[in-house]
Amino acid sequence: MTDATRTEPARRPARRPGPGLVLWGSVALFALLFALVAYRVGVSTAPSAAARPSLVRKVVKRRVVTTIVPTPGRSSVSASPASTSESGAEPIVTGAS
Amino acid sequence: MSGEHDITFDAMGSHVRLLIGEPGPGLRSAALAAERARETILAFDAALSRFKPDSELCALNEDPREAVPASPLLRRAVRAGLQAAERTGGLVDPTLVGEIEAAGYVGSRAGVQGASLGSALAEAPPRRPAQPDPRERWRRFLVDEEAGEIRRPPGLRFDTGGTGKGLAADLLAEDLRGYSRFVVDCGGDIRIGGADALVNPFEVYVEHPLSGERAFVLRLGHGGVATSGLNVRVWRGEDGRFAHHLIDPARGEPAWTGLVGATALGDTTVEAETLSKAALLSGPEGAREVLAPLGGLIVHDGGRVEPVGSLSLRPRVRWPQPAEESGLAA
């Protein structure tokens, strides 16, 4: 076993960035990214003469809900001769004819 | 039910009522549309009435030729009658003109006071379901659209009465499609349509054939509803027996099946009218089968009202079909 002793230069402790640098760096990076995103969004939504028209298709599903309710009362079949009015006051009745 | 233009007039031996809402872009006003529809109905009646000797239908029935030129309206009416026969296996038979005349229904009975249905039921023969005529004479009618002709053996007559009112309602519905909502009521055979009716449906009362009271209320946003019953056209024949206008095809006589009324729903009024007649002719058991798919009501001889199929459930959800996709509306 040798008794040689090697000497190495003393390591200097790593310099950690100061809080001010971290803070302003973060702000700057955020601003940069924000500006980049804002630019991209602006470009994509800007009207362009070459833009292809988009086709919006509206899908409408129709359903009829029919309920049936027993109702006592007199029938009033519309049996008047020719008559005209602007509001349907008489009930609509289905029956043999 | 407010806001619609409402007009009632007499045609086809019944009262016809139109309720027409707001017109869509480019369409004439509801009042003008109603007047146009009235003219259409009157022309329909003039062409297809069995009781008007100068009608095109009577001309067809009297024509000695085998192939008879026919207007698009008559061809469509005959097609509707044949489709009804096909759909019901011949139970709704449009060739029973001789039989119904033999029963005493020779002229229009509009405005004629009928006999008491209660008395008729008391004297009626034992109840039994009607059956199709095994001869299937209706199959001998052929509508040739290319030639614009109707072919059949001379002397075989056709009656559009079984589907006429329903077809009239469906024809008007095609013209009124662009209005916010509408009702076409041809003597109780009703067609409802319009986009607004889907969210704001009409209430349709079903009249009880014996009491005249409102038996039920249907809320309908689309499609057809029709009622067949014995209460309006029942009379005492020359032989002293009671008769009515719904003929048993197999026996050639009025059918007494145990039912006095049947109401049917359909995608079109022709379909509803076909099903209501088939249900009444089938008797209680058969009527349940006929009405089950689309829903309906039957009224027994004793007056009991029986909802059938989906109408016996609530709420009832029914998917509408556009009229032009329905075979019976074509």
pLDDT computed for residue B97 by the predictor: 93
Query: Could you tell me if residue A5 is inside a domain?
Result: no
Q: Which of B300, B293, B295 is nearest to B311 (CA)?
A: B295
Residue A53 lies in a domain: no
Residue with tokens 């197999």: B250
Task: Give A78 to chain B, closest Cα distance, Å.
Answer: 8
pLDDT at A67 over 70: no
Rg (CA), chain B: 19
Task: Give the distance from residue A71's alpha carbon to the nearest chain B alpha carbon, in angstroms.
Answer: 6
The pair of three-digit structure tokens given for residue B204, joined into one six-digit string: 């349709």
Determine the pLDDT at residue A6.
Answer: 53
**Residue B79 pLDDT:** 97
Higher pLDDT, A78 or B51: B51
Residues in chain B within 8 Å Cβ distance of A72:
213-214
Which residues of chain A does B311 touch, with a Cβ-Cβ cutoff of 8 Å?
A: 66, 68
Average pLDDT of chain B, as a whole number: 89
Q: Are residues A70 and A97 in the same domain?
A: yes
**CB < 8 Å to B18, chain A:** none
Residue A69 in domain: yes
User: Which among B173, B262, B261 is positioned nearest to B222, based on CA atoms?
Assistant: B173
The lowest-confidence range among A69-83, B168-182, B229-243 is: A69-83
> Measured between beta carbons, which residues in chain A are less than 8 angstroms from residue B13?
97
- DSSP codes joined into one string, A6-55: ---PPPPPPPPPPHHHHHHHHHHHHHHHHHHHHHHHHHHHS--TTPPPPP
B3–A87 C-beta distance less than 8 A: yes
The answer on pLDDT for B58 being more than 80 is yes
pLDDT band at residue B318 using 50, 70 and 90 as cut-offs: very low
Q: Are B5 and B183 in contact (CB under 8 A)?
A: no
Using CA coordinates, name the residue in chain B closest to A64. B318
* CA-wise closest residue to B24 among B221, B173, B223, B195: B195
Average pLDDT over residues A58-86: 44
Same-domain pairing of A92 and A69: yes
Which of B214, B244, B259, B277 should be substituted to probe chain A, the one whose Cβ sees the most A Cβ atoms within 10 Å?
B214
This complex has an ipTM of 0.78
Same domain, A43 and A64: no
Cβ contacts of B134 within 8 Å, gap of 6 or more: B250
pLDDT score recorded for residue B240 = 83
Q: Is A16 on the interface with B (CB under 8 A)?
A: no
Question: Which domain range does residue A74 map to?
Answer: 60-97
Q: Which residue has the higher pLDDT, B14 or B262?
A: B262
In angstroms, the CA B44 to CA A22 distance is: 89
Residue B107 has pLDDT above 50, yes or no: yes
The better pLDDT of the pair B121, A58 is held by B121
Structure-block tokens of residue A5 = 């002793």
Provide, as residue numbers in chain B, all residues whose Cβ is less than 8 Å from the Cβ of A96.
188, 207, 209, 227-233, 261
The band of A1, judged by pLDDT with boundaries at 50, 70 and 90, is: very low
Report the alpha-carbon distance of residue B65 to residue B85 in Å, rounded: 24
Is B329's pLDDT higher than 90?
A: no
The pLDDT value recorded for residue A79 is 26
- More confident call, B106 vs B48: B48
A64 and A85 in a single domain? The answer is: yes
- AA identity, residue B163: T
More confident: B21 or A57? B21
Angle at B307 between CA B303 and CA B308, to 5 degrees: 125
Which pLDDT value is given to residue A65?
Answer: 53
Choose the closest CB to A82 out of B8, B14, B218. B8
Which positions in chain B touch A68 (Cβ < 8 Å)? 216-218, 307, 311, 314, 316
pLDDT of residue A97: 73
Q: How does B243-269 read in b/e, with b if 16+ C-beta sit within 10 Å?
A: bbbbbbbbeebbbbbbbbbbbbbbbbb
In a domain, A93, yes or no: yes
Is the pLDDT at A70 greater than 50? The verdict is no
A39 located within any domain: yes
Q: What is the pLDDT of residue A4?
A: 46
Residue with tokens 């989906």: B310
* Cβ pair B316:A73 closer than 8 A: no
Q: Tell which wins on pLDDT, B4 or B150.
A: B150
User: pTM of the predicted model, to two decimals?
Assistant: 0.74
* Tens digit of each residue's pLDDT (9 = 90 or more) over B164-176: 999 999 999 999 9
Does A2 fall in a domain? Answer: no
Cα–Cα distance for residue pair B168/B243, rounded to 1 Å = 27
Residue B174, beta-bridge partner list: none
Task: List the structure tokens of B75.
Answer: 């061809």
Number of domains in chain A: 2
Compute the average pLDDT of residues B191-196: 95
Shared-domain flag, residues A65 and A95: yes
- Is B221–A91 a contact, with Cβ atoms under 8 angstroms apart? no
For residue B180, name the pLDDT band (cuts at 50, 70, 90). very high
% of chain B with per-residue pLDDT over 70: 92
Q: What is the pLDDT of residues A4-58, one digit of tens each?
A: 445 556 666 677 888 999 999 999 999 999 999 999 887 765 555 455 566 677 6
Question: Using H for helix, E for strand and C for coil, what is the string for chain B?
Answer: CCCCEEEEEEECCEEEEEEECCCCCCCCCHHHHHHHHHHHHHHHHHHHCCCCCCCHHHHHHHCCCCEEECCHHHHHHHHHHHHHHHHCCCCCCCCCHHHHHHCCCCCCCCCCCCCCHHHHHHHCCCCCCCCCCCCCHHHHCEEECCCCEEECCCCCCCCHHHCHHHHHHHHHHHHCCCCCCEEEEECCEEEEECHHHHHCCEEEEEECCCCCCEEEEEEECCEEEEEEECCCCEEECCCCCEEECCEECCCCEECCCCEEEEEEEECCHHHHHHHHHHHHHHHHHHHHHHHCCCCEEEEECCCCEEEEHHHHCCCEEECCCCHHHCCCCC
Find the mean pLDDT for residues B107-121: 76
φ/ψ of A63, rounded to 5, equals -145, 145
The tokens describing B202, both together, are 């009409």
Q: Chain A contact for B208, CB < 8 A?
A: yes
- In chain A, the residue whose alpha carbon lies closest to the alpha carbon of B187 is A97
Strands B182-186 and B253-254: unpaired
Residue A52 lies in a domain: no
Instruction: Give the highest mean pLDDT range of A70-84, B222-236, B301-315.
Output: B222-236
Q: What is the mean pLDDT of residues B65-78?
A: 97
Residue among B61, B218, B231 at smallest CA distance from B141: B61
A91 chain-B contacts, CB cut-off 8 A: 1, 203, 205, 214
Asked, for residue A41, whether it belongs to a domain, the answer is yes
CB within 8 Å of chain A, chain B residues 179-198: 183, 185, 187-190, 198
Average pLDDT over residues B281-286: 96
pLDDT of residue B326: 39
